[in-house]
Amino acid sequence: DAQFGPAHPRWIRVNSLKSTVDEQLDTTFKGFEMVPTVAEVMAPASTGKKLICLDGNVPNLIAASPGIDFTKTEAYKSGAIILQDKASCFPAYMLDPRPEDGDIVDACSAPGNKTTHLAGILHERGFAGGQRILAFEKDKHRAKTLAKMVGAAGSDKVTKIHPGADFLKTDPDAPEFRSVGALLLDPSCSGSGIVGRDDTPEFHVPAAVGAASKPTAGGAGSKVLKRKRAPEAPTVVVDDDGAETVLSEKALETRLAALASFQLAILLHALTFPRATRVAYSTCSTHATENEHVVLAALRSPVARRRGWRILPRERQVRGMREWPVRGDFSACEGAGEGGEDGGDREGGDGVDAAVVAEGCVRADRE
Ligand code: SAM
């Protein structure tokens, strides 16, 4: 949302497991004025006003005037609303989980914003009997935060958490994963895209839920991790727990290469789940090394070619994504793009198609 300048609205996702947008408009947002665009929420003339706007891309998402503390509201404390940045709401929405998909994997889950979003979407669509979200989190401490957030959001009954489990060590052919039809991949990254916010909803866990493992700042009540604005050249990297490190150009390159190699391993692993037909890949990074390059490398891999993974054409994306103006640069990607070359031998004669990009978020499909 760089189009709105350095200030950003407060993004609020209504958790459909616990509430509805209409209910929240009548309660939490009573007294707020509804305006048609986010630009109006953020206009200089709007300073000091209590304005909201329904997001045009992602359902159940509300932009509110900055500077308003929602952490004291009943809705926040009860898990009816979740403070979650718009970019963080794309992956679950674009993955488009459905009852017929069987189990859904969230490979890198904590603190659980996207896990709970997946649950909310499936709740609206009607969970199929026995359908679960399988949430992996390698870091045991962060897995505790995940469990608390999943509980607070009311999605614990449908979410099976694998605390301390390394997604890369799972056997995709194990009986437990036989029905996995879609995977969400949000691996650790450089965090270079986290800018221009006073706090980071991504790591903003309700006080009742607990803090991320190493909060760098934030009051005891709200557990908000304060972030500094990144400098023009994003040589700052932010780890999963919010700690920032400024790197030299050379050190940054080395760090990005290591991250990209791990991210590619996660993506390639996901592509091997036998029943999987959709994968969403996202990062909080602005570096192509962690975004397009990872996706391109994955799509060029033997497994992707054999199984027929492709970038999903715009017209087949979820509505809000079709209308989202930003796309990744896949010009270097011969054959992996919309309607690209045939992937060669396909396993089981599967049809294909594969990925979408928005703010470092990619969806891959086959059918
Ligand atoms: N998806 C989360 C959300 O929206 O709230 C944020 C995920 S954060 C960017 C990445 C997470 O992946 C971290 O909690 C990290 O501990 C976890 N992680 C890293 N490598 C992993 C692996 N191999 N298997 C499972 N989890 C992993």
To the question of whether residue 110 is assigned a binding role by annotation, the answer is yes
Ligand 1: residue whose CA is nearest its atom 11: 108
Query: What is each CA distance from 311 to 7, 149, 366, in whole angstroms?
Result: 33, 32, 9
Contact in structure between 122 and 51 (CB atoms under 8 Å): no
CB distance 111 to ligand 1 below 6 Å = yes
Is residue 196 classed exposed, middle or buried when 0-12, 13-18 and 19+ CB atoms within 10 A define those classes? middle
Is residue 27 classed exposed, middle or buried when 0-12, 13-18 and 19+ CB atoms within 10 A define those classes? middle
Looking at ligand 1, which atom is closest to the CA of residue 169?
23
* pLDDT one digit per residue (tens) for the chain, 367 residues: 444 445 789 999 999 999 999 999 999 999 999 999 999 999 988 888 999 999 999 999 999 999 899 999 999 999 999 999 999 999 999 999 999 999 999 999 999 999 999 999 999 999 988 999 999 999 999 999 999 999 999 999 999 999 999 999 999 999 999 999 999 999 999 998 875 544 433 333 333 232 222 222 222 222 223 334 444 556 788 888 888 888 888 999 999 999 999 999 999 999 999 999 999 999 999 999 999 999 999 999 999 999 999 988 888 999 999 999 888 887 765 554 443 333 333 232 222 333 443 334 566 666 4
Which CATH architecture is the domain 1-82 placed in? 2-Layer Sandwich (3.30)
CB distance 70 to ligand 1 below 6 Å = no
Contact in structure between 80 and 62 (CB atoms under 8 Å): no
Domain boundaries, the chain: 1-82, 89-189+255-365
The alpha carbon of 186 and the centre of ligand 1 are apart by a number of angstroms equal to 6
Q: Which fold has domain 89-189+255-365?
A: Rossmann fold (3.40.50)
Query: Which one-letter DSSP state was computed for residue 362?
Result: E
- pTM value is 0.84
Pocket mutation for ligand 1, best pick of 109, 136, 202 (most atoms within 8 Å of C-beta): 109
ipTM reported for the complex, 2 dp: 0.99
Q: Dmax over Cα atoms in the chain, in whole Å?
A: 60
What beta strand segments (E) does 115-165 contain? 133-137, 159-163
To the question of whether residue 333 is assigned a binding role by annotation, the answer is no
Looking at ligand 1, which atom is closest to the CA of residue 139?
16
The alpha carbon of 239 and the centre of ligand 1 are apart by a number of angstroms equal to 10
The alpha carbon of 19 and the centre of ligand 1 are apart by a number of angstroms equal to 27
